Structure 1
């Protein structure tokens, strides 16, 4: 597993304080120095070059970022991934750059990048060895001193701006769980960086070492809950598929969809200074069509994900370069409100997402998963803008503006993603509307398949029986009725009572659990059906557990 790094394109007024150019005096960092107030942007070598990296390739890609105009649009951090160092530390215990790959050394590289107006990122590992078995910062297997503070001071002396901290080969001491060992290690890394005297953004890879499928298990959810205390961004799961020169035409589309899949449910953790990272942008690189490249950029922007390229920048396809450089999509990704978009509706062919923006606008995206071009129509009420409402809808790919009080319509190419920015006029405040997801791509469904008023967990269909709204008083409504704690621990749909009726007020906690406020119990998904044709089981309430995967829910925004 590996994380992605670069981070931080802060607000313009903070840029000088957060990302200083090389200076004779060392900057002073404090534990509350604000970093990565918007999702990080830049370039990392791993998904294209892997260990075949050297000074010349890094410099060439840095120059391509500048000459292509991408750097000026925010892609300004250049990060060197694994394999940059020698196999042993020096006599003082310091890391040493490979003198063949990086003949001028890392301090020179940082100065060179800063002179071009770029920032400098570097890779290390919280374990004793990196993933490619170079010296890591962590304690050796069996115990002993770590190098977190030493390496942080060294990076500060090289004027590093960002540290990508992977999680291979991390020793688990006796008496601790793996999750506890990772928490201790990444807290130590964060403390060392804060104490180094230089503000350096931390990309923490801890969650990626606990992922179990798209929805994950208890330990994965535990790590996601604390990782934001350590770093400003974090890789949650599987790597994006790397480029293979021996098979350059191999499709990488399924990898993009897979990483989008695990990231789309985690919006509750995203905010200025904390970002979910579904790994590198490979838009415009071999393995994606122009439509698929647009989809990756559009979906990552909707999810407020880091925009970190990993490609040969000079060889990007014209269509991919246009998508990556689209300033309207970049502005969406960098929206200062920092809210991650959520899934409104999904079916085998389409997925619709909505995202609230800082100025009151609302972004909407439609992913066409299918292999054919399709017409789409997205009613405004279905994305949280009930009638009467008129919006100015800007197509973020073309810049074309239209006015509508009914629905967003268009034709979306196979594997493409349409993205609009909506500016409401004369509308009531947007109401969070969409799916309640549990156990991955499953939806809380009020189709009454198991009895009148019952609520079950079913495959997502984009139907009205899965379109919930979040109202005042913690109410979850479907078709005019409220999710209600019923008898025998079951939940049901019932008439909404005035005020805060017992059993109809819900609280969505940071860990994803939905707590019924009177009983203090948690909405719980049923166990998987024994056979595909088995009747759906009803949702019920149970005692709240410790980051139980069957009690984690993703809600509309």
Structure 2
């Protein structure tokens, strides 16, 4: 868990008023020569943990074979303790969640051959509001050693920074004190430092990482990865974001001291196979800790296969201990290369875009020695091919192809080939393509046949093309036209697939496939037509509909109460006004889709004026760009954000509070009475004198919109 230092390290809290003493100077021992591996509950369970949950996942680590592959540390994150210390100042395990205590949890883990990890915080309180180690550092370190803890994750919420003092210095002092306290226990405890996450993007960020590498073994350097309750878009965006802040930090990592971009999400809901393989590939190339956060007792075979891929784990755990770097970038893709101990390179072709692309690089750009032949082992398909220097693959959207590249040659190995789709004409669901089969190996191809497939309802100019011979280093092409049915409103992605089969001399028959993505965007005829989220529910539904309806405004099953909104003057189809602006609240019945969870939708809208006003709220903290397209083809943009629906001033992002309800609905019934759950208004400017044709909403799924009106 992490936030910015500015938000959480506030002056005025209890703490020292004098300048901090120098931090501990004894270098922390190298307890993790390769990146740590294991399991942590936080991203999947949050505070919903117990002794049984932790031990059940530990047993699953063992029974699944993941423990034998290196996932050997089980860490209980925040919320394991009571809200107060005992009379002697010691931390107290929650007697309901952990009835046998934390030492017992450690004993059970050790009996399974696993290591025992635990969470604490450097501040006055943990991020979840439980006692922090501030002013109790030696006492807590001694207690953890007594419990035979093997791994400590020390978070950085609620660290007091007195006025006039440096947050960098204060964090350095506290984390250094814990480092020395752990050393003084005499027990080897892997030390995970969270301090850099509270300085992400600030001028002190790299400096905080540098001293973190002195006082600890690894460090969380940025934002948390998404929780299990997050949407599919939110989870993928989170993986990309954490990759994005971690990948430039290779200069700050060294063997045995690890940048940590947070947990692996394989096994969580709403992620595709390509997405979880991408995260595993990228984390391994970046030499990141491989710490699973999911329910391993229910993980699918696919998720377990991803987490347990020995070849990918070997890249992460390579003895050379270096973080891979970006060696080539383009529109929507990165190429990363990581040097390995035996002279090989791990090369990742990462397609971050929403469309399939062929990504091409070279052995030279990847840092391999000059030569005429290289073996490419695809660490997911396990297929080995041979190239004369070009490294290429058709990579689906959100996917990563991960190769282990070895300078050398082998007999009877298929040449490396790739298919590339290039759009040459058409628009929307009608398109013309050049499909190329390239031979990047030392052996030519004969009898090459190309087969094209498309989804039902699509028409192709041909489904089979004879390409004949393809010389080494050459390519053969075919032209294909495709026409699909009229797309429904929204964004539709259609995949066309080309599969080439051929013979390659003594290597025998081979094949390769490649995809093309056809993206069509059709505006929704109205905002109501785009409703995709249940944000308002009834507290007491008619018997035929059940006793209670459940919504999902925040990704956790919570929603506005229709009854509480009605008490605030907001009912289905009613006019809602504030400061001269009037919206029509959705007429949709509670319990049905009645708001838009923003994902870049385009909405047909007409009117002209000075401002476009939105009625909505957020289940997070973000903003995004609205694009307005006018009937003359011109556009304008504006930033849209709302405060969180709960517990805020109501003026963030320049918004205004329109209505306040006094409680919300949760999956188990109405709750949080006396807490205000609000609706907000906010606007973007319009170009004067022009008539709106469409409005494109931000791609930010934490933002929800109930109504739009033109002022």
Shift of 1:89: 0.8
Q: Quick one: higher RCO (CA 8 Å, sep 6+), 1 or 2? A: 1
Quote the residue 2:375 is aligned against.
392
Shift of 1:398: 2.0
Match of 1:363 among 335, 341, 346: 346
Quote the residue 1:47 is aligned against.
43
Q: Is the counterpart of residue 272 in structure 1 residue 268 in structure 2?
A: no
Say which SS state the counterpart of residue 334 (structure 2) adopts. strand
1:70-149 to 2 correspondences below 5 Å: 70-138=66-134, 146-149=135-138
Distance in 1, Cα, partners of 2:297 & 2:97: 20
Shift of 1:72: 0.9
Contact 2:225 2:238 (C-alpha < 8 Å) held by counterparts:
yes
Shift of 1:135: 0.6
TM-superposition CA deviations, 1:118-170 (whole Å, max 9, x none)? 100000001111111111111xxxxxxx1111101100010100000000111
1:271-420 to 2 correspondences below 5 Å: 271-385=254-368, 387-420=370-403
Distance in 2, Cα, partners of 1:286 & 1:148: 38
Quote the residue 2:218 is aligned against.
233
Say which SS state the counterpart of residue 278 (structure 2) adopts. helix
TM-superposition CA deviations, 1:380-402 (whole Å, max 9, x none)? 22222364342221111122212
Shift of 1:249: 5.4
Match of 1:189 among 178, 184, 188: 178
Distance in 1, Cα, partners of 2:158 & 2:390: 52
Structure 1: runs of 5 or more not aligned:
4-29, 139-145, 427-557
TM-superposition CA deviations, 1:365-387 (whole Å, max 9, x none)? 00011222222322222222364
Shift of 1:176: 2.1
Distance in 1, Cα, partners of 2:162 & 2:144: 27
Say which SS state the counterpart of residue 202 (structure 1) adopts. strand
Say which SS state the counterpart of residue 374 (structure 2) adopts. strand
Shift of 1:285: 1.2
Q: Is the counterpart of residue 156 in structure 1 residue 182 in structure 2?
A: no
Shift of 1:67: 1.2
Say which SS state the counterpart of residue 385 (structure 2) adopts. strand
Contact 2:103 2:148 (C-alpha < 8 Å) held by counterparts:
yes
TM-superposition CA deviations, 1:425-471 (whole Å, max 9, x none)? 39xxxxxxxxxxxxxxxxxxxxxxxxxxxxxxxxxxxxxxxxxxxxx
Say which SS state the counterpart of residue 361 (structure 2) adopts. strand
User: Normalized per residue, which structure has more strand?
Assistant: 2
Contact 1:148 1:189 (C-alpha < 8 Å) held by counterparts:
yes
Contact 1:271 1:337 (C-alpha < 8 Å) held by counterparts:
no
Shift of 1:251: 4.5
Shift of 1:288: 1.3
Distance in 1, Cα, partners of 2:49 & 2:140: 21
Quote the residue 1:14 is aligned against.
none
Contact 1:284 1:318 (C-alpha < 8 Å) held by counterparts:
no
Say which SS state the counterpart of residue 251 (structure 2) adopts. helix
Quote the residue 2:30 is aligned against.
34
Shift of 1:248: 6.5
Tell me the TM-score normalised to structure 1 length: 0.67
Total equivalences in the alignment? 387
Distance in 2, Cα, partners of 1:126 & 1:384: 41
* Residues 166, 400 of structure 1: alpha-carbon distance in 2 compared, 3 angstrom cutoff: same
Distance in 1, Cα, partners of 2:129 & 2:70: 33
* Residues 249, 225 of structure 1: alpha-carbon distance in 2 compared, 3 angstrom cutoff: closer
TM-superposition CA deviations, 1:20-69 (whole Å, max 9, x none)? xxxxxxxxxx9664301100000000001111111011011111111111
Shift of 1:354: 0.6
Distance in 2, Cα, partners of 1:401 & 1:280: 30
TM-superposition CA deviations, 1:312-335 (whole Å, max 9, x none)? 112223322211110000000001
Structure 2: runs of 5 or more not aligned:
4-25, 410-711
